[in-house]
Amino acid sequence: MPDALIVAGPLRFRARFEDVLAPKSCALLRTTLPLEAHIVQARWSGQAAWVPLGERNFPLPPESATVYPLPGQVLLYPGGVSETELLIAYGPTRFASKAGDLAGNHVLTIVEGLEQLAELGNLVLWKGAQSFRMSLET
């Protein structure tokens, strides 16, 4: 059963928290929900969209951290070398910043709406920043 609802512009996704892979990261992310921000095309990472989380700095260890997320995987980068952010892969992705590769904690996997990932990519690439909301499923 999905744990989170993600709304990016007009698109809706349901996602499962990866509590076994990243328990501390998932627990911390839950405390930030509901989260409202904007989602944009990633600058350095290929086919991915990112949600900047501003000046927040989450004291998290690497948990199932990866540079190469699969489409539908959501990563949380807790801050450090680059700013704190969420990254949603919608195609081939190599998570990076201007400082080089980043490894983000795999916190969510999209389980409903995967067929809309290409549309998400086109939306953020060609139409720019979109509203973003993530909340717990009720």
pLDDT of 55-66, one tens digit each? Answer: 888 999 999 999
Cα torsion angle, 124, 127, 129, 134, sign = negative
Instruction: Answer whether 27's CB lies under 8 Å from 35's CB.
Output: no
pLDDT digits (tens, 9 = 90+) for 26-35: 999 999 999 9
Q: Where are the domains of the chain?
A: 4-135
Q: What ranges in the chain are assigned the alpha helix state H?
A: 23-31, 117-126
CA atoms of 131 and 32, how far apart (whole Å): 17
What average pLDDT score do residues 94-123 get? 97
Best CA proximity match to 86, nearest among 126, 40, 127: 40
Give the mean pLDDT of the chain.
96
Best CA proximity match to 71, nearest among 88, 90, 99: 90
What average pLDDT score do residues 93-115 get? 96
- The pTM of the full predicted model, rounded to 2 decimals, is 0.96
Instruction: Answer whether 6's CB lies under 8 Å from 134's CB.
Output: yes
Q: What are phi and psi of 117, to 5 degrees?
A: -60, -40
- Please give the CATH number for the structural domain made up of 4-135: 2.40.100.20
